[in-house]
């Protein structure tokens, strides 16, 4: 049941592999009567789709979702919303040599042991970032319902390798203030150009780089969530780690807060236009696992793409001898830009479930 993002009211079940005939999802729990703007869904999904920039994988996929059930005249009807996305540009032959020679830092070896050698190696199989495409469809639908509740989800590239963008203004963050390039969202264009240079250099060297994504949920009312094991941080973190290559998450001041005194990290309360808020937002909009009414802000660590063109050491799983491995295929030198809509989608699904 590990392929199901399961909430209290809402669930998203994902199926398929990177090179299977199709991938897709079944979304159960959406309220009936929600009118889905298909153009907006496609526009959101295009941010994750391959081939959108010079440094993305050369694999070209339209990522056009086909709705199988759950919509009548463009509105949800109360039945599970099922979609499929055809895989049309696969090159499985690039992965033939990896069945017994696992890629370093990839899922190959762990999956080989887990499934007794029956795992699908082509394109990473069910472990591929390709499976975030149907997640983005589900997230795009949820965002449209969240907007009706005055809630939005925004993200930007916080860093690529050692180049860091300007952070969100955690205290005065409003939806109208955020206008970012959907395919390479950064607050500072100067820092964005530096990031692109770092990615280009990695690509020229057949290498890869990682980074950090900062995500903000705006308009969340106070009092949402539960203490201890069902806190907002808990449920968001659990679901975010379902996205391939995510290796860490922090909220508010996060780890940097450990470098401050309590007097510096604490957020004083204030009244703003008759509404109780905090002067600062080091707590990232969450107190005791429950929303405070301030923006819910998290930062996710994305590791460097595991598949690189540099020759690396591996072990032949049959002979148990070390061998050199040179990976073929089409891979992103940095998956951070394309991971952003997946982060936003999971955040939207999780938040909507909490509100239903």
Q: In this model, does residue 93 exceed pLDDT 70?
A: no
Q: Could you identify the residue written with the tokens 């460097």?
A: 304
Is 200 assigned to a binding site?
A: no
Contact criterion met (CB below 8 Å) for 292 and 300: no
Q: In this model, does residue 77 exceed pLDDT 70?
A: yes
Counting every residue written for the chain, the total comes to 356
Is 306 assigned to a binding site?
A: yes
pLDDT in tens, 207-226: 999 999 999 999 999 999 99
Contact criterion met (CB below 8 Å) for 82 and 26: yes
pLDDT in tens, 252-269: 999 999 999 999 999 999
183: phi then psi, degrees, rounded to nearest 5: -95, -20
Question: Cα dihedral angle (275, 279, 282, 284), rounded to 10 degrees?
Answer: 20
CB contact set of 24 (below 8 Å; sequence gap of 6+): 14, 15, 16, 65, 68, 82, 83, 84, 85, 134
pLDDT in tens, 189-212: 999 999 999 999 999 999 999 999
CB-neighbour burial class of residue 200 (10 A; exposed 0-12, middle 13-18, buried 19+) = middle
Q: How many H helices and E strands in the chain?
A: 7, 18
pLDDT attached to residue 178: 61
Averaged pLDDT for residues 79-83: 97
Contact criterion met (CB below 8 Å) for 265 and 257: yes
Count of CB atoms within 10 A of residue 207's CB? 14
Q: In this model, does residue 87 exceed pLDDT 60?
A: yes
Is 78 assigned to a binding site?
A: no
Contact criterion met (CB below 8 Å) for 346 and 240: yes
Reported as a pLDDT band with limits 50, 70 and 90, residue 51 is low
Reported as a pLDDT band with limits 50, 70 and 90, residue 293 is very high
Is 333 assigned to a binding site?
A: no
Is 304 assigned to a binding site?
A: yes
Is 219 assigned to a binding site?
A: no
Is 307 assigned to a binding site?
A: yes
As given in the structure block, the two tokens for residue 260 are 């401050």
pLDDT attached to residue 241: 97
Is 56 assigned to a binding site?
A: no
pLDDT attached to residue 297: 97
Q: Cα 201 from chain centroid? A: 24
Q: In this model, does residue 147 exceed pLDDT 60?
A: yes
pLDDT attached to residue 54: 55
């Amino acid at each position: 049941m590990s392929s199901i993002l399961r909430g209290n009211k809402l669930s998203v079940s994902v199926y398929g592999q990177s090179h299977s005939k199709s991938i897709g999802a079944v979304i159960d729990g959406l309220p009936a009567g929600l009118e889905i703007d298909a153009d907006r869904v496609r526009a959101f999904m295009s941010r994750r789709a391959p081939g959108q920039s010079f440094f993305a994988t050369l694999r070209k996929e339209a990522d056009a979702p086909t709705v199988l059930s759950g919509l009548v005249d463009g509105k949800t009807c109360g039945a599970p919303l099922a979609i499929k996305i055809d895989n049309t540009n696969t090159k499985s032959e690039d992965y033939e040599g990896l069945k017994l020679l696992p890629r370093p830092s990839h899922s190959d070896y762990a999956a080989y042991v887990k499934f007794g050698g029956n795992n699908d190696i082509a394109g990473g199989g069910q472990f591929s970032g390709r499976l975030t495409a149907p997640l983005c469809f589900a997230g795009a639908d949820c965002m449209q319902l969240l907007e009706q509740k005055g809630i939005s989800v925004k993200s930007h590239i916080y860093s690529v390798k050692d180049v860091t963008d300007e952070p969100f203004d955690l205290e005065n963050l409003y939806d109208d203030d955020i206008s970012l390039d959907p395919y390479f969202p950064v607050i500072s264009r100067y820092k964005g150009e530096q990031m692109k240079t770092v990615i280009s250099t990695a690509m020229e060297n057949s290498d890869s780089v990682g980074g950090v994504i900062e995500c903000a949920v705006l308009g969340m009312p106070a009092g949402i969530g539960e203490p201890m094991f069902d806190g907002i941080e808990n449920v968001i973190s659990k679901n975010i780690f379902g996205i391939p290559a995510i290796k860490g998450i922090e909220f508010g001041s996060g780890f940097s807060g450990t470098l401050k005194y309590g007097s510096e990290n604490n957020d004083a309360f204030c009244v703003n236009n008759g509404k109780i808020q905090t002067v600062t937002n080091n707590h990232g909009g969450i107190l005791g696992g429950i929303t405070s009414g301030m923006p819910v802000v998290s930062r996710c660590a994305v590791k460097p793409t595991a598949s690189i063109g540099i020759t690396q050491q591996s072990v032949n799983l049959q002979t148990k001898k070390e061998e050199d491995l040179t990976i073929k295929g089409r891979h992103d030198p940095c998956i951070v830009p394309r991971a952003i809509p997946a982060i936003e989608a999971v955040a939207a699904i999780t938040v909507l479930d909490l509100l239903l």
